[in-house]
Structure 1
Amino acid sequence: MSEQETTPGDAADAGDAADTTDAFAAAIGRTWTDDRPWNFITDLTALGDRMGGSAGERRAADLVADAFEDAGVDDVELDAFEMSQWTRGWTEFELTAPVERPFDAIALPYSPSGDVEAELVDVGYGTPDEIDAEDVDGKIVVASTTTPSGRFIHRMEKYGCAVEAGAEAFVFVNHIEGQLPPTGSLTFGDEGSVPAVGVSKETGEWLKEYAANSSGETGRVRVGVEAETTPGESQNVVGHIGPKTDEELLLLAHYDAHDISEGALDNGCGIATVVTAARILAQADLDVGVRVAGVGCEEIGLLGAERVAETTDLSEIKAVVNVDGAGRFRNLVALTHNSDAMSAAAERIDETTRQPVDVNGDPHPFSDHWPFVREGVPAFQLHSDSGERGRGWGHTHADTRDKVDDRNIREHAILTALLVGDLATADAPRLDLDDLAATFRENDFEVGMRAAGLWPDGWE
């Protein structure tokens, strides 16, 4: 066996036979043909339900822990934390006027139980301006999962704005064809105030027609939800790569998924990318240590990432690499959240590898980087671009393993490892929180974030 054919298990014992640079390069080389990413995502999606706080999420945590250890991550352990567990019961949704007709629907996580019948009002994409333009008080609001242009308006903002305007219930309409009602949490970890359901694009077309009935008779619908929010427990999987240094990097991805699908794209691909990147980084000669985490409960409020932030001295974290969305599609996207240093790192990897890394500097609060970014820690969210607006198959029954192309996972894992290696030696200044708040305002985030309860205290 040549020096550059040293296996990951042998590399640590190779001594002077091969330096760590050779071992790192060899680990990158092996990744191109490694079948372990596909085997991992197969095992993960075979578990079925990975909803935050569920037994399936715990089984997934054990799987991630085993994968971390196999990849060469040290000191792997599970860190349990308390959370509010939402459990789905039944959902009923029907048009009651001008005709009676039932439709398929699914409750959105943290929807309270309730039974509401009221007039239907279509608020289009559900932007704050569209909601303000309609009289929604006492009515049931219908809004699309997408937005037409500009920044993407998140579901939590649409729900929060509708509730503030007096809506009695909320109906979230998928913009993707295929009879696929969408899911998605209404809040960050707490029960909402009015019932909310997701319906398919096809159902939404009927609802929009009834909401603007040409005869002048406005449609009425009934929304019935049974669900419960109870004390529960989730867990993060944490470990370490490289030297123990005063300042370290944090590499993380969420492994939980919504209960209606396998969660292959969101975020099976992301956690598979982190496991694969960790295997590469375990062979690197890093200047700083890397804390590695598979976090739970992202889909219902970033609760696992909040736990990491709460139990970590953030002055010791140089930068965060959040892998949420990477590995799904061909080209990696680096969201850099107002950090010129993070943008520069992504651009360096793009140039040196000649592998596309698209950079977007605009910040947003809807993934596991947020508990760190709002405290000034520079961060990536590593994503990938389908070329389409919105989540695609994500948050629907169609988020299944057959949608996965594991070469994307392998390539993005290599790029992730190289980005971490670059950050280990690069300067990464803290974010200016005044500038960050100003950017959110310039991008029209403030109204929606306040409605969703996400605007940080002190950002006045």
Structure 2
Amino acid sequence: MELEDDTADAVGRAWLDDRPWAFLTDLTAIGNRMGGSEGEARAAALVAEAFEDAGLDRVRERPFAVNEWRRGTTDLHLVSPDGREFEAIALPYSPAGEVSGELVDVGYGTPAEIDEVDVEGKVAVASTTTPSGGRFVHRMEKYGYAADAGAVAFVFVNHVPGQLPPTGSLTFGEEASIPAVGVSKETGAWLTEYADADGEVELSVEAETVPGESRNVLGRVGPDTDESVLLLAHYDAHDIAEGALDNGCGIATLLVAARVLAAIDLDVGVRFGAVGCEETGLLGSEHLAAETDFDSVKAVVNVDGAGRFRDLVAMSHTSEATADVARRIEERTRQPIEVREEPHPFSDQWPFVRGGVPALQLHSDSGERGRGWGHTHADTRDKVDDRNVREHGILAALLVRELAREPVEVPALDEYDLEAAFREAAFEPGMKAAGLWPESWE
């Protein structure tokens, strides 16, 4: 691929740059970056400093109000048959409370499996994964369906070994209805065995949801044009780990792209948003979308999952134009970019896609089912290969530069085609359970 001199120079510098690793080190050293926390505020200041250093203009932090969930202690133990204790962690927006009930194994936690058993007054135990070949069933759908069926508590069992209880929000920014906890695969094996023996557990969760504040960090490069490309990544993380993979890699990848884009001539301006509270309900991107004129956004590129694994994945969310851009960059660079056209609502592109803005979500694929180390204590800096961060940042910059070319047309999404795609991908039940299904699609 032949590059203009300024782009070639910027790409060459990015290839050798050690600043992404230094940034990731400082970010993960903060520890807890849960939405609304003091650690998230420190992370936002770190991102703002990195934006300035990368050459972005008009860098500023924009605070917004949130419901901040705060974790307390969690206790899970058998009442019968033998009274043993198990490690468990509360899931964000779980209410505080003490409950007891008989264990019931609901398998993967699909609605069909829950319907097959009696969960009324019981503690439902469900896996984090979904059946091979079946539709994806999100954690929120499993939890909501079990609660609606009368379960008094919900236990989410990791499918990845290693004594790693998983976390993940139960709702989008509001306190949930029944207590819910994550347990390791190893603990889950015991619980399902006890469920077969009519075992009963007691669960105690200490937590609170209080008024809080998060913030988005904004900046821009290039000319002041009526239309711009918006490049996003979330910088928050769950409080149980460093959040190196999710989404430390993503925000570091965005910074690599920012430094390249700040050094080159652009036809169309590029806006940057490092958004907060993604893990607790896309709250930062929802806030940013609410104050954005969608007609001024040519396309949105959301970096959530890029930089983690070797090969880049570009999710085009039904946009043929953004998919074509990803394929052109793959062909020109001879770097693999897997294009996936089906949409999903569980990342920061969703508030914009919902409004018709064409999008790309930049991700990467380990080849394994599920999140791997993500959303567990093991999401730590030692899992990161910063070659992936630098390479994906360069590719992200080239993708954005292509979208920012004046001759490149990126039509708005058709609402009817988008609705049909979500129905075809069988997202309707899960989105309704999570309160995400647009009223206009009813």
Give the alignment's TM-score, normalised by structure 2. 0.97
Q: 1:241 is matched with which residue? A: 221
Shift of the alpha carbon at 1:119?
A: 1.2
Following the alignment from structure 1 to structure 2, what is the Cα–Cα distance between the partners of residues 162 and 299? 22
Shift of the alpha carbon at 1:279?
A: 0.1
Following the alignment from structure 1 to structure 2, what is the Cα–Cα distance between the partners of residues 156 and 247? 36
CA-to-partner distance for each residue in 1:148-172, whole Å, 9 max, x for gaps? 2244322111111111222111100
Following the alignment from structure 1 to structure 2, what is the Cα–Cα distance between the partners of residues 22 and 430? 32
Q: 1:112 is matched with which residue? A: 95
Name which of 128, 137, 140 aligns with 1:153: 137
Name which of 189, 204, 216 aligns with 1:205: 189
Shift of the alpha carbon at 1:99?
A: 2.3
Following the alignment from structure 1 to structure 2, what is the Cα–Cα distance between the partners of residues 442 and 135? 30
Q: 1:431 is matched with which residue? A: 413
Following the alignment from structure 2 to structure 1, what is the Cα–Cα distance between the partners of residues 141 and 305? 21
Q: 1:64 is matched with which residue? A: 47
Q: 1:125 is matched with which residue? A: 108
Matched, 1:34 2:17: yes
SS in 1 for 2:166: coil
Q: 1:295 is matched with which residue? A: 275
Contact (CA 8 Å) 1:377, 1:430: kept in 2 or not? yes
SS in 1 for 2:439: coil
Matched ranges for 1:90-239 at <5 A: 90-149=73-132, 150-213=134-197, 218-239=198-219
Following the alignment from structure 1 to structure 2, what is the Cα–Cα distance between the partners of residues 68 and 21? 24
| Identical pairs, percent | 69
CA-to-partner distance for each residue in 1:142-196, whole Å, 9 max, x for gaps? 1111112244322111111111222111100001111010011100000000000
SS in 2 for 1:131: helix
Following the alignment from structure 2 to structure 1, what is the Cα–Cα distance between the partners of residues 89 and 415? 38
**Partner amino acid, structure 2, of 1:75:** R
SS in 2 for 1:344: helix
**Mean Cα displacement is larger for which, 155-164 or 27-36?**
155-164
Following the alignment from structure 2 to structure 1, what is the Cα–Cα distance between the partners of residues 392 and 145? 36
**Partner amino acid, structure 1, of 2:62:** D
**Partner amino acid, structure 2, of 1:50:** R
Q: Which runs of 5+ in 2 are unaligned?
A: none
Matched, 1:326 2:306: yes
**Mean Cα displacement is larger for which, 157-166 or 223-232?**
157-166
Contact (CA 8 Å) 1:244, 1:289: kept in 2 or not? yes
Q: 2:62 is matched with which residue? A: 79
Dislocated runs of 4+, deviation >3 Å: none
Give the alignment's TM-score, normalised by structure 1. 0.93
**Partner amino acid, structure 2, of 1:229:** T
Shift of the alpha carbon at 1:436?
A: 1.5
Contact (CA 8 Å) 1:179, 1:201: kept in 2 or not? yes
Following the alignment from structure 2 to structure 1, what is the Cα–Cα distance between the partners of residues 4 and 263? 8
Following the alignment from structure 1 to structure 2, what is the Cα–Cα distance between the partners of residues 152 and 241? 38
Following the alignment from structure 2 to structure 1, what is the Cα–Cα distance between the partners of residues 9 and 394? 12
**Partner amino acid, structure 2, of 1:459:** W
Shift of the alpha carbon at 1:139?
A: 1.4
Contact (CA 8 Å) 1:160, 1:448: kept in 2 or not? no
Following the alignment from structure 1 to structure 2, what is the Cα–Cα distance between the partners of residues 266 and 413? 16
Shift of the alpha carbon at 1:454?
A: 1.2
SS in 2 for 1:458: helix
**Partner amino acid, structure 1, of 2:228:** E
Contact (CA 8 Å) 1:164, 1:451: kept in 2 or not? no
Following the alignment from structure 2 to structure 1, what is the Cα–Cα distance between the partners of residues 319 and 104? 41
How well do the aligned residues superpose, as a CA RMSD in angstroms? 1.1
Following the alignment from structure 2 to structure 1, what is the Cα–Cα distance between the partners of residues 181 and 85? 14
SS in 2 for 1:159: helix
